Amino acid sequence: MDLGHDHFFRGRLLILDSEQIAAEVDRMEKEAETIRADSLKIAWYMRGGMTYTEAQMLSPKERELIGTLVKDNLETTKKSGLPFF
């Protein structure tokens, strides 16, 4: 377990007022929702090659790269007329 990030997070919260804390929580909730949505999309496009749990463990850069790969493959499929699904 990485307690370093937890300690850093708590330290940041200590210096914020209640409105700033609420804004930080909202930001984190939106970020978590984006990670869940991206992970579900990756798991779906991978067709069993990667589970939802595995997709959640990817770094932001890895999720971005896979998203770009999927987008590129969709464009290639549209141009070629071959079925994607």
pLDDT in tens, the chain (85 residues): 454 565 677 777 788 888 988 998 899 999 999 999 999 999 998 888 999 999 999 999 999 999 999 899 889 888 998 876 6
**Is 13 among the domain residues?**
yes
Range of the domain at 18: 3-80
**Is 74 among the domain residues?**
yes
pLDDT at 10: 75
**Cα–Cα dist 44/23, whole Å:** 32
**Is 58 among the domain residues?**
yes
pLDDT at 82: 81
pLDDT at 11: 78
User: How many domains does the chain contain in total?
Assistant: 1
81 within 8 A of 52, measured Cβ to Cβ:
no
